[in-house]
Structure 1
Amino acid sequence: MKDSKRKLAAIMFTDIVGFTKLSAKNEPAALELLERQRDLLKPIVEKHNGEWLKEIGDGLLLSFEGNIDAVRCAIEIQTEAKIVENLTLRIGIHQGEVVFHGGDVIGDDVNIASRIEAYSPSGGIVVTDKVHSSLARDPLYQTIDIGKPDLKGVAQTISLFCLSSHGLPIRKEVANNKNSKKVLLKNNLYLYSVIILAILSIIIYITMNPFLKDSVSDLSIAVLPFANMSADKENEYFSDGITEEILNSLAQIDELRVAARTSSFAFKGRNEDVRSIGKKLDVSNVLEGSVRKFGDDIRVTAQLIRVDDGFHLWSNTYDRKFVDIFKVQKELSDAIADQLEVKLIGNDSVTKRSGTTNNAQALDLYMRGRFLWNQKKEEPLLKSIEYFKEALTLDKNYALSQAAIADAYFSLARIKRWTIDKNERNEILNNAEMNAIKALEMDPSSGEAYAVMGILYSGLDVSREWKSDILKSEEYFKKSIELNPVYPTVYQWYSEFLRSQENYNKSRLMIDKALSIDPYSASINLTAGEFYSNKLGRLEEGLEYFDKAFNFDPSIIYGSANFAYTILLERFYKWEKAEESWLHAYKTDSTFYGTLWGMTAHYLNRGMLSDAEKYFSKLLFHYPIGSGKMPTDNDTYDLAAYKFLCSDDFKNAQDAILTRVKYDPCIDWLLFDLSITFSKLNEIGKGLKMIDSLNYLCSHRKHIYNVQPITNEDRIKLESFSLWSKTILHSLDGDKTHIDREIKKLESNDEDLDVISARAHLRIFSKDNKKALDDFEILIDNFEPPRFFLKNPFYDSVRRYEGYDRLIKKMNLEYKNL
């Protein structure tokens, strides 16, 4: 065959289970699922040296050089696919000769691969005997012989094997096994009778059982925070702790979906109908109750409510001594399980969660610690660590308490990262690592401890200078997910890690998974807000997530989280709301660097110079330059430069920029402002030499801020800013040939906002104010406004031009602030 190419290859065929039904029910969701499949699987296929041959509806046809590569790829695909809702795959792998012809792939062996996929269990992998021969000698791969199916249109006799290792689901035998046809024929009559009776039973059951009608997911429950009925309000830790213990106990039932703790606790103290809460949490049942603790006695009252109609399925009251708390937990959990087994045809039972204690006093201390830990603030976190340590003195094998110490230390490092020096930060991180390792020694199945190890080694902001091992970090995250696939925090942290690696597709899958498990978590919604706005450029969605986080827990929006949220409000020109947010953050913590920096910039953007000076002075008071309180003073120098520029103090502005570039000569937009200072101080010649010097020094740097590697793209951008800054100085010296030439190079691009911004700034100095304002309007309409547009002297000439007033109004700024 002309232009055809034959080669021996391992051929993989995948198919999405239930895709046809999903397409009929929700076509947009089905199309989005295909896109997510593509985004998730393509990098995995490339990683294993595979070739993406063809997409056939929801199916994929892939080829690999060797069988082992194909099998390893399939295992990783099935592991990662668990993260994406509705992406349940069947996979079949066969080895044979493939014919590539005219951009297509054909042959009998391709047909075999497509046929055997149907014999895979949902989420599983089947291989033919040709592939199995490559696995037989490797103990890493375990398989089950499931027979020889009768494949339509295939003359060959094919033996099939189902992979049973790596936590994959299995099937015991194919239904149309050639070796068992006679047996099947003899039993057909009996089989048909059983099927008919089963169908009739199901129909009768569904008809008679109202519990199954219009159900969200019958095997689902939310445990709402039990009310504290004790006279002592400080016993609230106990009612919250009992709630968590019951929730975690029920979560051990594989068949039961339990709403995440954070989402359930989002409704604490709200006078809202239980049925409404259940619908918001997407569950069919709600457990609520109360706890009274008086001396050594406790009373726990609980009731199980059906969301659909508010019917009380079960209730009970337990009067016990505190030392019998474990019996109460078990009795209550077993009672709920019994109810669900009867009503919801569940067949699982409650098993004890790993890493727990049998010491009632240790549990009490742990619950006190968790109550404080959940507040995620410095003083409560420090106190929580004391309680967790005290619990360990009573039970040295209390792994959950040990893991909680690790988590608390990491949370502490994040909260304090801007207010402590490197040595103190590293000491905190060392404590987090040490306690996570101890927790894993006590309980190797602790998904929570593996998650802490993952975030510690991720190289993200807080731990970048302490320890960074990207491969280990990802390994720990995957292990955590394997051990505890419903732990929302690991997906949140893994998303942050993937975002730092610029793997935005997979990062989105992870944060979306975290949201699906725990939709009412303020922390997870914050992470989603930052990701969607900063990395995906989907500003409106990002703001929605931020607003949700604020509504769920107003106290969580402070510090770095508030910084990202409020900057986004400013990008949408919601200045009053942004000011409220800054003031709220300042009231929460008046010493946080990000808040003081952000408030100074906020008032500079609004032209309110006295307010800007007020908060900048506070910033310098708490973080004096050269004090070592910050990893670097670069951000302070940047802000100082703009504060001086907006006040027409050109000498101090220039000094701030030149001091800053001693530590990092690789700057872009700040070079434009540096050019202005040389112009205003009549030092154009000196400015040209300085820009050349900085460009030379930067060309020998490998990292920005000594951390971020400089890519070729970064290098081109930095060199462009150097050239443009020089053209600005030349134009101010009367030579406009350079700047006109650079503008002409940029004129053809009206899509890239960075290009439009550079062009707008250059046009100011070519005296083309109308076109400059036209470009600035594009930026403003896309929420990428010029910084400090009201007061920065860079914009002096356009400020006097007709049309500037209209842009200021678009940004919701007013001249009364000038």
Structure 2
Amino acid sequence: MVIYSSIMRKLAAILFADMTGYTQLVQENEGLARDKRKKLKEVMEVKVRDFHGEVLQYYGDGCLVIFPSATESVLCAIEIQQQLRKEPEVPVRIGIHTGDVSIEDDAIYGEGVNLASRIETLAVPGGIFISEKVYDEIHNKGNIRTMALGYFELKHVKEPVRIYAVVNDGIAVPGRDAMKGKIAPPRNRLAVLPFVNMSADPENEYFSDGITEELLNALTRVKGLQVTSRTSAFAFKGRNHDIRDIALQLNVDKVLEGSVRKSGNKVRITAQLINAADGYHIWSENYDRNLTDIFEVQDEISGIIANRLRENLDVSPKEGTHRAPVQNLTAYTFYLKGLHFWNRLTPPDIRKSIDYFQEAILMDPGYAQAHAMVAAAHSYLGATGQMQPEKAFRIVHEYADKAIALNGEIAEGYCAKAAAYLLHDWNWKKAKEFLDKSLSLNPIYGEAFELLAYYYICVDNKQAAVNVMEEAISHDPLSISVLQSLGNMYLMAERYTEAMEQAEKLLEISPQLRIAIELKGWALGMQGDWLAALEQFTRYQQLTHHPLKGMMGLGYAHARLGNHKEALECIRKMELRAREEPDTVLDADLAAVWFGLGDNDKAFHHLNLCVDKKLGPINYILQYPAYLPIRTDPRYEALMGRMPAIETAG
């Protein structure tokens, strides 16, 4: 073992290996035990060296090894296990995790070491178990195959840890039964899957989706029950997945599913609550009702589920959060159609959702939720440059205020109001207060988490921004928006490898997803590979299917590569688009490309226009790592001085 005289810290892939049954074998056949231990050490020495690892410590019948990369650690583990299967076979468990290692004299410690050790104890003889962090780095390697095992509660680890098994040839793979007693699924975490539209008219899809959302919203108000966010649950819409596999992916122990059949003024709702571990139906029921009774049915179903869970946990409705039923069924129908388009999250669909929400308000002027969604939709348009910010956020304030006045228990109203304070008014304290209120009403509201992370970037607390989005992922692990926002926070924190991992996860969900391609481009560029970044930004621009859109990343990459002519052509196209689409604000994009070209005069001209037009907070825009060198320009302080002083809440 190598002796170190001072503390050395490094990020490494940590491998623990341990021979099973060694103590008993010593008692039965000491010579054979000694031969097997010798073989283990010989194989470890050769294979670890082949994959550039380092054996830090041998202990009894096992060892601790570190590697410079997760890929090398897993490939090494595979070859070790394949060698150890040959006679005399040596049964060894291997666990791998990536994390920080601290080495001081003969002591080796760190959270990463502890977690790798815990994972090894879960493994089966001849098997290789890896953490989710290792999986994120190796899952797209064609020569490594894995299988998700689920979430495990490990000793001295606060949160359940998701574990994968390597399933290459020659590696022992545990069956589901072998893991019983080791898997500790979280209690009272529920996923509400999209209710299936059983109506003859496919146009009623909006209605079944709306019923699902209303049930989900009702269940988030149940104290002691953790509900997976809508976006992750809806990722399984139209797919025939095993309930147990869905539960593994969403980290839940119970699933609510059902169907809706609507015909005229009649509706039949079928709902069933399933225990994810064994597929057992805890409860199921059919409801035949008039549409006028739909709100009572939703409350009845959520109440029954709460009662079914009461035996395991103190589950009860939160006080003061019951939404009064909508009196006008036509208004409710318009509202559900609005939600259907809102959830598509494209500018044309957002505009269409506004039309439906406003129709709902015409039918029922007291419909608080519809007012809140009009505010949320205009916040989206104003924040993305699809509408002049001054006009958009004036509407946001108007409708959010009305929603809150009508019903002060609606998370969406407070979130939209917070967006206006944060993105347009630049009132940091008020933004934080309203975001806190929104999350107190709906603790899994993804939009509020994303805005809260945005807030922390504005007040220069990047670690808090990352923490917020990592919490959001725990509620909404398959949300495209949340995954992308976490990737952006990693970019802001200059954690480019992790930003790349988020981009790859998004591309697994949708290989043509533009926001994922853009994120990957920035992650590559900020790691110094602007040529690879240019390829991504070129692909991103092509997917806009518009000759003038998607130019900012493309222009910046050209500028960094010294392709001045191409970068200037991107600027020309952006300026042309600004003239053709006067409601579109492109000054932040233009500033970035001019800065990439080294023309700080033009960059500051456009950055000041961003402040004039109130296009998002400059103290957010300039946190992108690509802008870091601009802080040495004396005009930077003057620009930042145009923003309100940082005044935080709480």
Same fold (TM over 0.5): yes
Of the candidates 385, 392, 396, which is equivalent to residue 432 of structure 1?
396
Displacement after TM superposition at 1:372 (Å): 0.8
Q: Which residue of 2 aligns with 1:58?
A: none
1:470 to 413, 423, 428: 428
Which of the numbers 374, 394, 402 marks the counterpart of 2:371? 402
- Report the secondary structure of 1:457's partner residue: helix
User: Structure 1 residue 579 and structure 2 residue 520: aligned?
Assistant: no
What is the match of residue 602 of structure 2?
A: 660
1:566 aligned to 521, 526, 534, which one?
Answer: 521
Residues 356, 398 of structure 1: 8 Å contact kept: no
What residue in structure 2 maps to residue 490 of structure 1?
Answer: 448
- The residue that corresponds to 2:58 in the other structure is none
The answer to whether residue 646 in structure 2 is matched with residue 704 in structure 1 is no
Task: Determine if the alignment matches structure 1 residue 588 to structure 2 residue 544.
Answer: yes
Task: Provide the C-alpha distance between the structure 1 equivalents of 2:181 and 2:222, rounded to a whole number of angstroms.
Answer: 20
Residue type at the aligned position of 1:599: L
Residues 521-573 of structure 1: CA deviation (Å, up to 9, x unaligned):
2112211111112x322111111123333444667644xx7644422234454
Tell me the alpha carbon deviations over residues 668-721 of structure 1, each in whole angstroms, 9 at most, x when there is no partner. Answer: xxxxxxxxxxxxxxxxxxxxxxxxxxx9xx75885238857999xxxxxxxxxx
Match for residue 43 of structure 2? Answer: none
SS in 2 for 1:263: helix
The residue identity in structure 2 corresponding to 1:372 is F
Is the aligned partner of 1:504 residue 2:462? yes
After superposition, the Cα gap between the structure-2 partners of 1:449 and 1:309, relative to the gap in structure 1 and judged at 3 Å, is same
1:234: Cα distance to partner?
2.5
The answer as to whether partners of 1:334 and 1:350 remain within 8 angstroms in 2 is no
Q: What pairs with 1:548-563 in structure 2 (closer than 5 Å)?
A: 548-552=505-509, 557-558=514-515, 563=518
Structure 2 equivalent of residue 373 of structure 1: 342
How do 1:633-648 and structure 2 match up within 5 A? Answer: 635=590, 638-639=593-594, 642=597
- Structure 1 residues 574 and 30 mapped into 2: Cα distance closer, same or farther (>3 Å)? same
Structure 2 residues not aligned, in runs of 5+: 1-108, 116-156, 160-179, 609-629
Q: What whole-Å deviation, never above 9, does each CA across 1:191-246 have from its counterpart, x for those lacking one? A: xxxxxxxxxxxxxxxxxxxx999542332211011122333322221121111111
1:316 equivalent in alignment to 2:299: no
C-alpha distance in 2 between matches for 1:236 and 1:472: 38
Letter in 2 for 1:339: R
Backbone CA RMSD of aligned residues: 4.2
TM-score normalised over the length of structure 1: 0.49
User: What is the alpha-carbon distance in structure 1 between the residues aligned to residue 223 and residue 645 of structure 2?
Assistant: 48
CA 1:606–1:397: 2 relative to 1, 3 Å: same
When residues 582 and 318 of structure 1 are mapped into structure 2, their CA distance, relative to the original with a 3 A threshold, is farther
Structure 2 counterpart of 1:538, from 483, 487, 495: 495
Opposite residue 443 of structure 1, the aligned amino acid is N
Contact 2:524-2:533 within 8 A present in 1 as well: yes
Q: 1:577 to 1:629 in 2, by over 3 A?
A: closer
> How many angstroms apart in 2 are the aligned matches of 1:318 and 1:349?
22
Following the alignment from structure 1 to structure 2, what is the Cα–Cα distance between the partners of residues 410 and 710? Answer: 23
- Determine the C-alpha separation between the residues in 2 that align with 1:348 and 1:382: 38
Contact 1:337 1:350 in 2 (8 A): no
1:231 correspondence with 2:200 = yes
| Structure whose alpha-carbon radius of gyration is higher | 1
Identity %: 30
1:310-343: CA deviations, max 9, x gaps? 222222333333223223323332333343335x
Q: Closer, same or farther in 2 for the Cα pair 1:397/1:308, shift >3 Å?
A: same
Name the amino acid aligned to 2:602: R
How many residue pairs were aligned? 453
Deviation at 1:265, TM superposition (A): 1.3
Match for residue 316 of structure 2 among 348, 358, 367: 348
Q: Structure 1 pair 574/551, CA: closer, same or farther in 2 (3 Å)?
A: farther
Alpha-carbon distance in 1 for matches of 2:306, 2:403: 29
Secondary structure at 1:353 match in 2: coil
Q: Quick one: distance in 2 between partners of 1:663 and 1:278?
A: 52
Bigger relative contact order (CA 8 A; separation at least 6): 2
- Cα distance in structure 2, aligned partners of 1:320 and 1:641: 63
1:456 matched to 2:420: yes
2:576 is equivalent to residue 621 of structure 1: yes
What corresponds to 2:381 in structure 1? 412
SS state at 1:266 partner = helix
**415, 422, 439: which one pairs with 1:481?**
439
Contact 1:703 1:709 in 2 (8 A): no
Say whether residues 1:385 and 2:354 are aligned partners: yes
Cα separation, 2, equivalents of 1:507 and 1:630? 26
Counterpart of 1:469, as a letter, is N
Give 1:500 shift.
1.3
1:396 match: secondary structure = coil
Q: Is the 8 A contact 1:521 1:549 kept in 2?
A: no
Equivalent-residue separation in structure 1 for 2:275 and 2:479 (angstroms): 24
Q: Deviations over 1:715-754 (max 9, x none)?
A: xxxxxxxxxxxxxxxxxxxxxxxxxxxxxxxxxxxxxxxx
How far did 1:382 drift? 1.3
Residues 88-487 of structure 1 mapped to structure 2, 5 A cutoff: 215-341=184-310, 344=312, 348=316, 353-354=322-323, 356-415=325-384, 417=385, 424-458=388-422, 460=423, 463=424, 467-487=425-445
CA contact (8 A) 1:523 1:549 kept: no
Distance in 2, Cα, partners of 1:513 & 1:590: 36
SS state of the match for residue 397, structure 1? coil
- For 2:524 and 2:268, the matched residues in 1 are separated by 48
Q: Which of residues 453, 462, 476 is equivalent to 1:518?
A: 476
Q: Give the 5 Å matches for 1:71-86.
A: none
1:597 aligns with 2:552: yes
- Given that 1:522 and 1:556 are in contact with CA atoms closer than 8 Å, whether structure 2 keeps it comes out as no
Secondary structure at 1:623's aligned position in 2? helix
Could you tell me whether the CA contact under 8 Å between 2:521 and 2:532 is conserved in 1? Answer: no
**TM-score normalized by the length of structure 2:** 0.61
Deviations 1:792-817 (A, max 9, x none): xxxxxxxxxxxxxxxxxxxxxxxxxx
Q: How far apart are the structure 1 equivalents of 2:366 and 2:430?
A: 26
1:11-54 C-alpha deviation (Å, 9 max, x unpaired): xxxxxxxxxxxxxxx9838999xxxxxxxxxxxxxxxxxxxxxx
CA distance in 2 between partners of 1:545 and 1:637 (Å): 23
The change in CA–CA distance for 1:329 and 1:477 in structure 2 (over 3 A counts) is closer
Q: Match of 2:522, as an amino acid? A: I
Please tell me whether the aligned partners of residues 596 and 615 of structure 1 are also in contact (alpha carbons under 8 angstroms): yes
Q: Could you say what secondary structure the match of 1:357 adopts? A: coil
Change (3 A) 1:611 1:331: same
Query: How far, CA to CA, are the matches of 2:588 and 2:582 in structure 1?
Result: 9
**Residue segments in structure 1 that go unaligned for 5+ positions in a row:** 1-25, 33-84, 88-210, 643-655, 667-694, 712-818
Alpha-carbon deviation of 1:587?
Answer: 2.7
Contact 1:664 1:704 in 2 (8 A): no
Q: 1:448 to 1:29 in 2, by over 3 A?
A: farther
2: CA distance, partners of 1:636 / 1:263: 36
The residue identity in structure 2 corresponding to 1:452 is: A
Report deviation, 1:436.
0.9
Determine the structure 1 residue equivalent to 2:143: none
* Aligned match of 1:529: 487
Cα distance in 2 for partners of 1:396, 1:626 equals 34
- Report how far residue 503 of structure 1 moved: 1.6
